[in-house]
Amino acid sequence: MNYHLILTRQCNLNCVYCHGGEEDGNTEIQYSIDNLSDFLKKDRTNISLLFYGGEPTLRVPLIIDLIDRFPKATFMLQTNGLLVSQLPEDYIKRFHSILVSIDGTEETTDRYRSKGVYQRVIKNVRWLREIGYEGDLVARMAVSEQSDIYRDVRHLVDLGNPSFDHVHWQLNVVCDAEGNWNDFDGWVEKSYNPGITMLVEDWVSGLEEGRVQGIAPFLPVMHTILTGERTELRCGSGLDTFAIHVDGSIGVCPISPDWEFSIVGDIRTTRPEQLRGIMRVEDPCPTCDIEWVCGGRCLFANRERLWGDEGLRKVCKTVRHLIESLQNIVPRVQELIENEVISLDQLSYPVNNGCEVIP
Ligand code: SF4
Ligand code: SF4
Per-residue three-class SS string for 47-109 = CEEEEECCCHHHHHHHHHHHHHHCCCCEEEEEECCCCHHHCCHHHHCCEEEEEEECCCCHHHH
Tell me the one-letter amino acid at 183.
D
Whether residue 255 has pLDDT greater than 90 = no
Whether residue 291 has pLDDT greater than 70 = yes
User: What is the per-residue pLDDT across 48-58, written as a single tens digit (0 to 9) for each?
Assistant: 999 999 999 99
Taking the centre of ligand 2 as the mean of its atom positions, its distance from the CA of residue 358, in whole angstroms, is: 10
Write down the pLDDT at residue 110.
96
Residue 349 pLDDT grade (very low, low, confident, very high; cuts 50, 70, 90): confident
- Give the position, in ligand 1's atom list, of the atom nearest the Cα of 319: 1
Across 66-80, 95-109, 163-177, 331-345, least confident range: 163-177
Regarding the beta carbon of 144 and ligand 2, being less than 6 Å apart is answered no
Ligand nearest to the CA of 324: 1
Output the residue whose Cα is nearest ligand 2's atom 2: 298
* CATH superfamily ID and name for 2-219+235-279: Aldolase class I (3.20.20.70)
Which residues fall within 8 angstroms of residue 35, CB to CB, at 6 or more apart?
Answer: 248, 267, 268
Whether residue 19 has pLDDT greater than 70 = no
Residue 176 pLDDT grade (very low, low, confident, very high; cuts 50, 70, 90): low
Regarding the beta carbon of 298 and ligand 2, being less than 6 Å apart is answered yes
Regarding the beta carbon of 291 and ligand 2, being less than 6 Å apart is answered no
Q: Is the dihedral of CA 27, 299, 81, 130 positive or negative?
A: positive
Q: What is the dihedral of CA 180, 185, 191, 193, to 10 degrees?
A: 120
Ligand nearest to the CA of 173: 2
Regarding the beta carbon of 358 and ligand 2, being less than 6 Å apart is answered no
Output the residue whose Cα is nearest ligand 1's atom 2: 316
Write down the pLDDT at residue 123.
97
Regarding the beta carbon of 288 and ligand 2, being less than 6 Å apart is answered no
User: For 144-148, what is the mean pLDDT?
Assistant: 94
Regarding the beta carbon of 359 and ligand 1, being less than 6 Å apart is answered no
Q: How far apart are CA 104 and CA 101, in angstroms?
A: 9
Whether residue 66 has pLDDT greater than 60 = yes
Write down the pLDDT at residue 16.
81
Beta-bridge partner residues of 8: 28
Whether residue 178 has pLDDT greater than 60 = no
Which residues fall within 8 angstroms of residue 166, CB to CB, at 6 or more apart?
Answer: 136, 137, 138, 139, 214, 215, 216, 219, 349, 355
Q: Which letter, b or e, does each residue of 114-126 get, where b requires 16 or more Cβ atoms within 10 Å of its Cβ?
A: eeebbeebbebbe
Regarding the beta carbon of 291 and ligand 1, being less than 6 Å apart is answered yes
Write down the pLDDT at residue 62.
98
Q: How far apart are CA 284 and CA 312, in angstroms?
A: 9
Whether residue 210 has pLDDT greater than 80 = yes
Regarding the beta carbon of 321 and ligand 1, being less than 6 Å apart is answered no
User: For 265-271, what is the mean pLDDT?
Assistant: 98
Regarding the beta carbon of 218 and ligand 2, being less than 6 Å apart is answered no
Ligand nearest to the CA of 300: 2
Which residues fall within 8 angstroms of residue 126, CB to CB, at 6 or more apart?
Answer: 161, 162
Whether residue 23 has pLDDT greater than 70 = no
Residue 317 pLDDT grade (very low, low, confident, very high; cuts 50, 70, 90): very high
Whether residue 159 has pLDDT greater than 70 = yes
Instruction: Render 291-348 in DSSP notation, one character per residue.
Output: HHHHTTS-HHHHHH-TTHHHHHHHHHHHHHHHHHHHHHTHHHHHHHHHTTSS-GGGG-
* pTM of the model as a whole: 0.96
Across 15-24, 54-63, 118-127, 247-256, least confident range: 15-24
Taking the centre of ligand 2 as the mean of its atom positions, its distance from the CA of residue 78, in whole angstroms, is: 14
> How many C-beta atoms surround the C-beta of residue 8 within 10 A?
20
